[in-house]
Structure 1
Amino acid sequence: MFVPALTETQRGEIGTVDIPDGISLHGLLDYESLISAEELDFDELLDRARRELRAFDGPVDAIIAHWDFPTSVIVPVLAHEFGLPAPTLESVLKNEHKYWSRVLQREVVPECVPKFCAFDPFDDNALDSIDIPFPFWVKPIKSHSSQLGFEVPDADVFAAAVQQIREEIGRIADPFDQALARVEVSGDIRMAGGRTCLAEEIVTGTQAAPEGSMFRGDYHVHGVFDMRRDAEERSFTHLDYPARTVPPDVQQRMIDVTERYLRHTGFDNGCFNSEFMWDGETGKLWLIEVNTRISQSHSDLFAKVDGSSNHLVAIDVALGIPPRMPHRKGEFAVAAQCLVPRYEDGFVTRVPNEEKIAALRNRFPGTVVKIDVEVGEKLSEMPNQDAYRYKLATLYIGAPGADQLEQRYHDAIAALPFEFEEVH
Structure 2
Amino acid sequence: MVKIIFVVGLDDFHLAQLQEVQSSDQYRFHTLLSYQEIKRVKRFPVQELLEHAQRVLLEFDGTVDAVIGFWDFPVSTTLPLIRDEIGLEGPSLISVLKCEHKYWSRLLQKEVIPELVPPFQKIYPFREDAVAQCTLDFPFWLKPVKSVLSHLGFLIRDTREFETSLDIIRKNIARYAEPFNLILSKAELPEGIRAVDGYHCIAEGLISHGQQCTLEGYVYKGSVHIYGVIDSLRDSIHSSTFTRYQYPSNLPADVQHRMIEATQKVMVHIGYDNAPFNIEFYWNEDKNTIHLLEINTRISKSHCPLFKLVDGEYHHKVLIDLALGQRPDFPYRQGPMKVAAKFMVRAFQDGRVVAVPGKKDIRQVEQKFPGTEVLVHIQEGMRLSELFDQDSYSFEIAALYMGADSHEQLSANYQTALAMLPFKIESHEDR
Instruction: Report the TM-score when normalising by structure 2.
Output: 0.96
Q: Which residue of 179, 182, 196 corresponds with 1:178?
A: 182
Identity fraction in percent: 42
1:103 matched to 2:122? no
Q: Cα offset for 1:22?
A: 4.5
Aligned partner of 2:127 in structure 1 is: 123
Aligned partner of 1:236 in structure 2 is: 242
Letter in 1 for 2:230: F
Query: CA separation in 2, counterparts of 1:361 and 1:30?
Result: 26
Q: Cα offset for 1:131?
A: 0.9
Letter in 1 for 2:236: A
Aligned partner of 2:60 in structure 1 is: 56
CA contact (8 A) 1:371 1:394 kept: yes
Query: CA separation in 2, counterparts of 1:347 and 1:390?
Result: 12
Deviations 1:136-178, CA, capped at 9 Å, x for gaps: 1110000121111011111111111111111111111111111
Query: CA separation in 2, counterparts of 1:23 and 1:359?
Result: 32
Query: CA separation in 2, counterparts of 1:294 and 1:44?
Result: 24
Counterpart secondary structure, 1:5: strand
CA contact (8 A) 2:154 2:392 kept: yes
Aligned partner of 1:74 in structure 2 is: 78
Letter in 2 for 1:241: Y
CA contact (8 A) 1:18 1:312 kept: yes
Q: Cα offset for 1:381?
A: 2.4
Q: Which residue of 46, 50, 53 corresponds with 1:42?
A: 46
Which range moves more in the overlay, 13-22 or 235-244?
13-22
Q: Which residue of 412, 420, 429 corresponds with 1:407?
A: 412
Deviations 1:70-106, CA, capped at 9 Å, x for gaps: 1112111121222222101100011110000011011
Query: CA separation in 1, counterparts of 2:132 and 2:407?
Result: 48
Q: Cα offset for 1:315?
A: 0.3
Q: Which residue of 182, 206, 229 corresponds with 1:224?
A: 229
Query: CA separation in 2, counterparts of 1:15 and 1:333?
Result: 24
The aligned runs of 1:300-319 (5 Å cut-off) are 300-319=305-324
Letter in 2 for 1:48: H
Aligned partner of 1:145 in structure 2 is: 149
Aligned partner of 2:219 in structure 1 is: 214
Q: Cα offset for 1:43?
A: 2.5
Query: CA separation in 2, counterparts of 1:13 and 1:7?
Result: 10
Query: CA separation in 1, counterparts of 2:361 and 2:283?
Result: 39
Aligned partner of 2:387 in structure 1 is: 382
Query: CA separation in 2, counterparts of 1:420 and 1:323?
Result: 44
Q: Cα offset for 1:251?
A: 0.8
Aligned partner of 2:422 in structure 1 is: 417
CA contact (8 A) 1:85 1:317 kept: no
Q: Over aligned residues, Cα RMSD in angstroms?
A: 1.3
Deviations 1:267-299, CA, capped at 9 Å, x for gaps: 000101011010000011110001011100010
Aligned residues: 423
Q: Cα offset for 1:234?
A: 2.4
Letter in 1 for 2:33: L
Query: CA separation in 2, counterparts of 1:151 and 1:84?
Result: 41
Q: Which residue of 3, 16, 21 corresponds with 2:7?
A: 3
Q: Cα offset for 1:415?
A: 1.8
Aligned partner of 2:193 in structure 1 is: 189
Query: CA separation in 1, counterparts of 2:157 and 2:26?
Result: 57
Structure 2's unaligned 5+ residue stretches are none
Aligned partner of 1:262 in structure 2 is: 267
Q: Cα offset for 1:354?
A: 2.2
Q: Which residue of 110, 133, 136 corresponds with 2:137?
A: 133
1:350 matched to 2:390? no
Query: CA separation in 1, counterparts of 2:362 and 2:280?
Result: 32
Q: Cα offset for 1:420?
A: 1.8
In the TM superposition, structure 1's runs of 4+ consecutive aligned residues that sit over 4 Å from their partners are none
Letter in 2 for 1:26: H
1:391 matched to 2:402? no
Q: Cα offset for 1:32?
A: 2.6
Letter in 1 for 2:245: L
Deviations 1:173-197, CA, capped at 9 Å, x for gaps: 1111111112222222111101000
Query: CA separation in 2, counterparts of 1:15 and 1:24?
Result: 9
Query: CA separation in 2, counterparts of 1:20 and 1:337?
Result: 24
Aligned partner of 1:169 in structure 2 is: 173
Query: CA separation in 1, counterparts of 2:87 and 2:52?
Result: 19
Letter in 2 for 1:3: V
Aligned partner of 1:286 in structure 2 is: 291
Deviations 1:289-333, CA, capped at 9 Å, x for gaps: 010111000101111111110000100000001111011111111
Deviations 1:335-387, CA, capped at 9 Å, x for gaps: 10000111111111111222222221221111111011111111122212111
Query: CA separation in 1, counterparts of 2:82 and 2:349?
Result: 42
CA distance 1:368–1:347, shift in 2 (3 Å): same
Counterpart secondary structure, 1:313: helix
CA contact (8 A) 2:343 2:400 kept: yes
Deviations 1:31-78, CA, capped at 9 Å, x for gaps: 233111211242332111111111211111011121111111211112
1:323 matched to 2:313? no
CA contact (8 A) 2:352 2:381 kept: yes
Q: Cα offset for 1:264?
A: 0.7
CA distance 1:363–1:250, shift in 2 (3 Å): same
Instruction: Report the TM-score when normalising by structure 1.
Output: 0.97
